[in-house]
């Protein structure tokens, strides 16, 4: 569902692992994903809207898959919803 009455709220997140190959090449930028948040707040699926090379896209997918949200609500009931997320990678911040 797009646009639930009450959007999901991020409760817990996991930082992505910065791949060594990306660190060596000093790749930075953002990965943008569109994820499915289930009625229980789990992330169940998604698609890549903006990838990055050297394993950074997969690192973002792996991390976001462990995130937990408050359930999206529509008419007082938990529902599944789509949510865009951005994962930022900076080589100097990932030591």
Mean pLDDT of the chain: 92
Look up the CATH number of the domain holding residue 60.
3.30.2420.10
Domain containing 73 equals 10-93
Q: How confident is the model at residue 91 (pLDDT cuts 50, 70, 90)?
A: confident
How many separate domains does the chain show? 1
Which residue in the block uniquely carries the two structure tokens 């948040």?
Answer: 37
**Model confidence, pTM:** 0.88
Domain-embedded: residue 60:
yes
Which H or E run includes 37? strand 29-37
Q: Measuring CA to CA, how many Å separate 1 from each of 40, 42, 72, 78?
A: 14, 15, 9, 11
Percent of the chain at pLDDT > 90 equals 88
Task: Give the tens place of pLDDT for each residue, 38-50.
Answer: 999 999 999 999 9
Domain-embedded: residue 2:
no
User: Which phi and psi angles does 48 have, rounded to 5°?
Assistant: -90, 125
């Amino acid at each position: 569902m797009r646009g639930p009455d009450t959007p999901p709220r991020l409760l817990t997140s996991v930082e992505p692992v910065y791949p060594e190959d990306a660190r060596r090449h000093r790749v930075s930028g953002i990965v943008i994903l569109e994820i499915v948040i289930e009625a229980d707040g789990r992330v169940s699926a998604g698609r890549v809207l903006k990838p990055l090379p050297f394993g950074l896209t997969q690192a973002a997918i792996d991390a976001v898959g462990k995130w937990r949200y408050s359930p999206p609500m529509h008419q007082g009931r938990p529902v599944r919803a789509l949510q865009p997320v951005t994962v930022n990678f900076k080589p100097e911040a990932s030591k």
